[in-house]
Amino acid sequence: MGFSMNKLKDGEVKGMMLGLNVEASHIPVLRTYAKHHLKLLDKVKKVEYKDARAVYKSLAVDKHEMCDATSEFFEDRYGVTIQEAESGLISVLTKCLTSCVNYPFLDAFIAVDL
């Protein structure tokens, strides 16, 4: 999902995934990614910064919900349903936070969006 110059602690990753879970709750695939990683980090205490790094903290507190228009847009744009895209992601995600995975829909999404 991302890249860091420093090794992140699991608590830092959990903090980022909690923010993503709120901010991307209405975005297909990203919401599934966040939920999956939060399950892996269930017993980990989040790290929350109060210093200068806090400027990067999400200010969103309420989740947005998808509507029928989201599903229609996604399928029209990418040619697959949200369910197909998200189940494809779940099938390749592992129980390791640092694993690189081959997500078959990614190339198709990039081809449309770039």
User: Is there a contact between 105 and 80 (Cβ–Cβ < 8 Å)?
Assistant: yes
User: Which pLDDT score, from 0 to 100, does residue 31 have?
Assistant: 94
User: Is there a contact between 15 and 48 (Cβ–Cβ < 8 Å)?
Assistant: yes
The pTM of the full predicted model, rounded to 2 decimals, is 0.84
User: Which pLDDT score, from 0 to 100, does residue 69 have?
Assistant: 95
User: Which pLDDT score, from 0 to 100, does residue 51 have?
Assistant: 77
Instruction: Report whether pLDDT(59) > 80.
Output: no
User: Which pLDDT score, from 0 to 100, does residue 111 have?
Assistant: 93
Instruction: Report whether pLDDT(71) > 80.
Output: yes
Find the largest Cα–Cα distance for the chain.
Answer: 44
Alpha-carbon gap, residue 57 to 59, rounded angstroms: 6
Q: What are phi and psi of 92, to 5 degrees?
A: -105, -15
Q: Who contacts 84 (Cβ-Cβ below 8 Å, separation ≥6)? A: 105
